[in-house]
Structure 1
Amino acid sequence: MSVMRRALLVAVSAATAVVMAAGPGAGAEAGSAGGRGGDPGPGGAPGAAPAPASIAPEADLAHHGHASLWSGELTMRLGSENHGPSPLPDATVRIEFSVRLVADQALPSNCLWGGERIVLCRTGQLRAVGRSREIALGLRTVGTPDEVVVRIDTAWNGGASDRNLENHQHRVLVPATGDLYAF
């Protein structure tokens, strides 16, 4: 009998894990066994609802701005925006350059070097349907390239889910004309 109880316990545990992974109420209709009817639910008491699964907040993070290149001087302004619906406690923007940059250049206080060609910048808290303060970069390239490709992406968004990848991933070709190239 002990072996039978163990097998039943393993089967019930596996079924509970599958139901919890599927989320509360998945596959259960009102009044069905294990639901909110008179039968005991996963909580053990009659009518007990299953414990809610942890759901990541959803936030649509976007990055927009412009970049310019002239005589080896690369300037960039970037702002981040949260289209909601959830606020973000913080986010990190990853900016990657196709050319080498002069080492040990000063960055704004909310930015740091992530490699020879990568800058990471913190946006700060973004309320739902809110904007960050603008990030301004003035960087020297090694030599005077004819063009630079700048890639902008979200490195971290506070664990939120973002279904719209179109507005926070950009690849911008910046010719050495001194003109502003928007993204």
Structure 2
Amino acid sequence: MWGVLGLGLGLSAGAALGMVGPEADLAFHGEVSLREGSVRVRFTPQNHGPSDLAGATVRLRWSTPLVGVERLPEGCLRAGVSAVLCRTGALDAGSAGSPVEVVVRVAGAPGEVGVRIDTAWDGGAVDHNPRNNRHAVLALDTGDVYYF
């Protein structure tokens, strides 16, 4: 389930419906670690341009249900049993946003947890390179850091 991630069409929902918005290349780069049921996800949103974005929303989804949120930063909220949504804030073309760190507890004592990171909302932008804003990371319960 966590080994393959489809690339999709590379278009925002608005573009798929024939509406053309600004072109922006969103990217999320960061790290995931798991230690004794506590999962830490830290990422930095980036906009490679060419257009500025007023903001976007990043979706974080875990393969195991969440049982507690240890640290949920401003601009993030729970979105169901195993997901969190986070605002990026404004992203000028060619810039990086502020780093976001989310720490949650997952159910049970899993030896591994999958985390998917992707764009939930892109402000209506057309992104012709969605590969750098869709990630799937498998973290083992070792405390090691896995980068995306």
Report the TM-score, using the length of structure 1 for normalisation.
Answer: 0.68
Where structure 1 has 5 or more consecutive residues not aligned to the other structure, the ranges are 1-53
Query: In 2, Cα distance between the equivalents of 1:137 and 1:56?
Result: 30
Where structure 2 has 5 or more consecutive residues not aligned to the other structure, the ranges are 1-18
Aligned residues of 1:101 and 1:140 also touching (Cα < 8 A): yes
Structure with the higher fraction of residues in strand conformation:
2
Query: In 2, Cα distance between the equivalents of 1:55 and 1:73?
Result: 41
Q: Deviation at 1:105? A: 5.1
Kindly report the root-mean-square deviation, in angstroms, between the aligned alpha carbons of the 2 structures.
1.3
Aligned residues of 1:103 and 1:116 also touching (Cα < 8 A): no
Count of equivalent residues:
130
1:129-160 residue CA offsets vs partner (Å, 9 max, x unmatched) = 01110111111111211000000000001000
Query: In 2, Cα distance between the equivalents of 1:165 and 1:155?
Result: 12
Q: Deviation at 1:55? A: 3.9
Report the TM-score, using the length of structure 2 for normalisation.
Answer: 0.84
Tell which has more relative contact order, 1 or 2 (C-alpha 8 A, sep 6+): 2
For residues 104-183 of structure 1, what are the structure 2 equivalents within 5 Å? 106-183=71-148
Aligned residues of 2:52 and 2:91 also touching (Cα < 8 A): yes
% same residue: 49
Structure with the higher fraction of residues in helix conformation:
1
Larger Rg: 1
AA of the residue aligned to 1:171: A
